[in-house]
Amino acid sequence: MKISGNTIFIPGATSGIGLGLALRLHAARNKVIIAGRREEQLRRITAEHPGVESVVIDTTDPASVKKAAETVQTRFPETNVLITMAGIMRPEDFHTGDFLGTAEATVDTNLLGPLRLIAAFTEFLAAKPEATLMTVSSGLAFVPLPLTPTYSATKAAIHSLTSALRVQLADTGVQVIELVPPAVRTALMGQENAENAMPLEDYLSEVMTLLETRPDADEILVENVKLLRFAEANGSYDEVLGLLSSH
C-alpha cells in the first residue's frame, strides 16, 4: 500500500485506533472518508478536521452497509482503499448462558460486519489497477484473552479470513493487509490508562512507519504485538495465555 495519494474509506473511525489512523492518513495526503453510526459525531469530527469526509453506516445492518457502499462508490469513485475497522470488545462469563447476547453482538459486529463490507467492495476495488483491502484483527487472534472469548474468536476468524482472501484475490490488483494491534490505550474495554497497553500515538506512529517502509507487507505488526503473534511458533503459548489470564 502506498502511503499517500489514496482515497480511503474507514468504517469505525469515530474514535480510538480508527479515528487516529484516519487522521494520520489524512495528514499523509490521502483523501479519507470516515464512517460510523452517529451522525452528530461524524459532523463534529469533519468540522474539526477540514477535508475529512464522512458517511453514516451501521455495519450490523446489511441495508445500511449497502447504502453506505453505494454512497461512497458514487461520491468518491476514486476510492481505492477499504479499512474494516469497526469492532466491539466486551467481557463474557461462560458460567451461565447470560453471555449469549454479548457473543451474538460481537460476532455480528466483528465478523459479519467486515464480511458485509468485503462483499460490498470487492468487485469495486478489483476493478482498480491498484487497491488495498485492510482487515483489522488483534494479537488476541493468536492467544485469546479469557475475559473476552468471543472477541478473541472473531479476531482469529478475521485472521483466517484475511489469509484466504489474500489467496483468492491474488489474480486482481487488490492488496490484502491485516492490521494486528496489541492492547492500545483507547476506550475499548476502558484501556485509556492501562499500564499494559501501548499509548495510542506511539502505536499510530509505528503503524505509519511500517506502512511507509514495508508497502508490500501482508501483516502490520508493531513490536508490542509480536509476543502474541508468534507465541505458538515460539513455544510460549501456554505462558502467554497464563499472563493474559491474570488480567
Which amino acid is present at 102? T
Residue 145: C-alpha distances to residues 24, 152, 245 (Å): 29, 6, 7
Helix (H) / strand (E) containing 67 = helix 62-75
Q: Which residues pair with 73 in a beta bridge?
A: none
**Which residues lie below 8 Å from residue 48, measured CB to CB, with a gap of 6+?**
none
Q: Could you give the angle at the alpha carbon of 236 between the alpha carbons of 231 and 237, nearest 5°?
A: 65
Q: Is the dihedral of CA 13, 16, 18, 24 positive or negative?
A: positive
Annotated active-site residue in 9, 121, 142, 151: 151
Cell of 36: 460510523
CB 73 within 8 A of CB 79: yes
What angle separates helix 149-168 from helix 100-107, to the nearest 10 degrees? 20
Active site residue 203: no
Task: Supply the angle between the helices 113-126 and 149-168 in degrees, to the nearest 10.
Answer: 20
Between CA 197 and CA 213 the distance in angstroms is 24
**Residues carrying an active site annotation:** 151
